[in-house]
Amino acid sequence: MRIKHFKIAGFTLVFAMLIILFILNNKNYFQESFVEDGEYVKIENIGKESCQNCHAGTKGDSDYHNPELIGCISCHLGNPNTLDKEDSHKGMVLIPGNLADAKETCGKCHPNELAKIENSLMTTNSGLVAVDKYIFGESNSPDNHYHIKEIKNSAADKHIRDLCANCHLGAEKTEYGAITQLSRGGGCNACHLNYSEEAKNDLKKYLSSNKKDLPKFHPATNIFVNNEHCYGCHSRSSRISTNYEGWQETVLDEKDINKKLGFKVSEDKRVYKYIGEDLHHNKGLLCVDCHSSHEVMGDGKKYAHAEQAVKLQCSDCHFKEKPNTTSYSSLDAESLLVFLHRDYKHTNKQIITVKKDGHPLVNTYVDATGKAFLIGKKDGKIHELKPQSEICSRDNAHKNVSCSTCHADWTSRCIGCHNEFDKDEPRAFDLLDKKYGKGQWKEHVAEFSSSQPAMGVRESKNKRLIEPAIPGMILTIDRGSYVGKEIGKDVSFFRLYAANSPHTTTKSVRDCKSCHSNSATLGYGNGKLVYEIKDGKGKWNFTPEYENNPNDNLPEDAWIPFLKEAKKGIINSTRLDFRPFTVKEQQQLLLVGACLQCHKDDSKVMKQSLVQGINPLLNKLSKNCIFPNWN
């Protein structure tokens, strides 16, 4: 019996040792598995770090990044096993979170988030590079995939380096301080770095004392993202950040406005005119109230353009009958962490999910009566989410029209952008490599303005959607100047519009005439579009506001010719799946515009057209109805 017990004990011991050896040899597998399931990576030797001997009592870190929990070296690296200042600072990362060091810093605890960020458009800038190379004739498609860190020095690449390459997450943050309007990139810092007033004051003292007066307040790294984090990059290009707050960029100088009301000057000295803020901004909502971490950081997939990466739709919150939801117990690890960090309490309520990909909006919930609410991330204020209005939900005539087409109040417009290369510029600054050289692309803008958005068609095999459009690039590119040719000898002209979601949402919608009889909306540019009836025949006439551009004989701000097909083979959009209206579509829109000359928006017949469409009503015409003559 004793021998039998020894055999059992021996077998058990051997089996246990094999399990221990397996775990030790596969430590990374188990650690990664725990991370996938939302568990924290264990930080070793926190109590033995020498950092606190000099930095004892430092405050300000967020609860989840408290040095008592994760130490100092998990973020800053360095040598924690010595009291010698120089030795302890060897290998130290003073500003952790840049993508260059993220694998050794933030990515140690957040590997899944880092993997997503590295593939996101905010890091790769793939769409920006692809469109630029397409327009320069260096690529046959604007949908190819690129990474901005890998571009070389072709004409298009140099154009990006000189004018566009500031705004990507790979751009390193090299100076201490809070994220401001002037900030660009910084990896994880771009969104997650927050300085309290105490931390800002301590930083000033530290720098003014020649770095001898050590700060007592450390900046926090947390999930409390505010609009300032977005502004630096998203106040450029389509200018979503400034639009959202109600400001339109101008070509004015600070001296031109002389503190006039209705104008402001940004930190980079651009001058803005107030037009009108987005309804959501007026309610105190932040960008991240709608665009959660799943969108902002990406989902790990590589997308060609932003509209593919953004999954959120207005109808997710402003639903028709009831929203898509999930339970607290079903939240993924990333969403659960956000829920816990925000200290939300609605664990017993359903949470709204985005229809396209199912990711949860953890700051929303649906109560027992079916009413939906959003918790503002700025102030915790509760906002009731209103379902679609009756007219939206029963409108059959506009089922293929996006919400922002009707609800966007205004959008930025720019025309007359001239690009030429100055080979003699002595202090050309490469925005990607952050160094000076000789020779630089220069951009000259003629005008900034604002108006209601134009409309275009997003078309795929199974879908046709009308979306807002803005003049993305009405520009000339002096290609020859880059290869040493005389200025003006090799110039290409482009009249490109881009699909756009302006983020200037209003509760009220644009009226019917603003779509069906507005020249700028239809793509003709600003001017007078008039329906004239003569000798019992109707005819639309258009007088443009701007002179024709000699490059294509269209008004400067136009997209397409008035009731004529655009020339074949001309590139007129920054996307292959987005286009202006065909002549047949223009005629269909203007037919309704002709009806609106007599029938008001809220008349019985026009309301019927929303439900039935226009065709059934054409069989009930009176003798006074005069159709447009298209000949």
Same domain, 436 and 481: yes
Q: Which residues lie closer than 8 Å to 595 by C-beta, 6 or more apart?
A: 605, 606, 609, 614, 625
pLDDT of 146 > 90? The answer is yes
Q: Which residues lie closer than 8 Å to 422 by C-beta, 6 or more apart?
A: 428, 439, 440, 441, 442, 481
If one counts the domains in the chain, the total is 3
pLDDT at 455: 97
Same domain, 334 and 472: no
Mapped onto helix, strand or coil, the DSSP state of residue 264 is: strand
- Residue 425: CA atoms inside 13 Å, Cβ hemisphere, count? 17
Same domain, 456 and 576: yes
Same domain, 439 and 563: yes
Same domain, 491 and 616: yes
- Decide: 183 and 190 in contact? Cβ < 8 Å: yes
Q: 87-129 pLDDT, tens per residue?
A: 999 999 999 999 999 999 999 999 999 999 999 999 999 999 9
Length of the chain in terms of residues written: 631
% of the chain exceeding 70 in pLDDT:
92
Q: Rounded to whole angstroms, what are the CA distances from 466 to 402, 460, 470, 588? A: 6, 12, 13, 14
User: Is 31 contained in some domain?
Assistant: yes
pLDDT of 322 > 50? The answer is yes
Same domain, 412 and 543: yes
pLDDT at 393: 62
pTM of the full predicted structure? Answer: 0.88
- Decide: 581 and 560 in contact? Cβ < 8 Å: yes
User: Is 529 contained in some domain?
Assistant: yes
Average pLDDT, the chain: 90
Q: Which residue has the tokens 């100076």?
A: 175
Among 332, 360, 387, residue at a domain's last position: 387
Same domain, 339 and 293: yes
CA dihedral for 620, 624, 625, 629, sign (positive or negative): positive
Q: 345-389 pLDDT, tens per residue?
A: 999 999 999 999 999 999 999 999 999 999 999 999 999 999 988
Q: Which residues lie closer than 8 Å to 421 by C-beta, 6 or more apart?
A: 155, 158, 439, 440, 441, 442, 478, 481, 482
E strand intervals along 380-526: 382-385, 411-422, 428-430, 435-437, 440-451, 454-459, 464-478, 491-499
Residue 17's pLDDT band (cuts 50, 70, 90):
very low
User: Is 480 contained in some domain?
Assistant: yes
User: Is 533 contained in some domain?
Assistant: yes
Which residues constitute the domain of residue 325? 287-312+319-387
Same domain, 457 and 545: yes
Residue 424's pLDDT band (cuts 50, 70, 90):
very high
- Phi, psi (5° rounding) for residue 405? -60, -40
Task: Give the H/E segment covering residue 21.
Answer: helix 2-25
Q: Please, where are the H alpha helices in 125-272?
A: 126-135, 155-163, 189-192, 197-208, 227-234, 240-245, 254-257
- Decide: 419 and 441 in contact? Cβ < 8 Å: yes
Q: Measure the CA dihedral 189/195/201/207, to 10°.
A: -10
pLDDT of 15 > 60? The answer is no
Residue 568's pLDDT band (cuts 50, 70, 90):
confident
pLDDT at 43: 58
Same domain, 450 and 597: yes
Same domain, 597 and 475: yes
User: Is 72 contained in some domain?
Assistant: no
Same domain, 371 and 414: no
Q: 465-509 pLDDT, tens per residue?
A: 999 999 878 899 999 999 999 888 899 999 999 999 999 999 988
User: Is 303 contained in some domain?
Assistant: yes
pLDDT at 35: 38
pLDDT of 30 > 50? The answer is no
pLDDT at 37: 42
Single-letter code of the amino acid located at 75:
C
- Decide: 433 and 161 in contact? Cβ < 8 Å: yes
Q: What is the 3-state secondary structure (H, E, C) of 309-350?
A: HCCCCHHHHCCCCCCCEECHHHCCHHHHHHHHHCCCCCCCCE
- Phi, psi (5° rounding) for residue 628? -65, 145
Q: What is the 3-state secondary structure (H, E, C) of 352-366?
A: EECCCCCCECCCEEE
Q: 56-89 pLDDT, tens per residue?
A: 889 999 888 988 889 999 999 999 999 999 999 9
User: Is 4 contained in some domain?
Assistant: yes
Q: Please, where are the H alpha helices in 81-238?
A: 85-88, 106-109, 111-119, 121-124, 126-135, 155-163, 189-192, 197-208, 227-234
pLDDT at 416: 86
| Residue 305: both structure tokens together | 């353009």
pLDDT of 46 > 90? The answer is no
Q: Rounded to whole angstroms, what are the CA distances from 262 to 68, 130, 247, 344, 552? A: 49, 37, 9, 38, 37
Among 330, 364, 387, residue at a domain's last position: 387
Question: What are the residues facing 272 on neighbouring strands?
Answer: 249, 264
pLDDT at 107: 95
pLDDT at 64: 87
Same domain, 443 and 333: no
Residue 44's pLDDT band (cuts 50, 70, 90):
low
- Decide: 365 and 373 in contact? Cβ < 8 Å: yes
Among 387, 413, 444, residue at a domain's last position: 387
User: Is 464 contained in some domain?
Assistant: yes
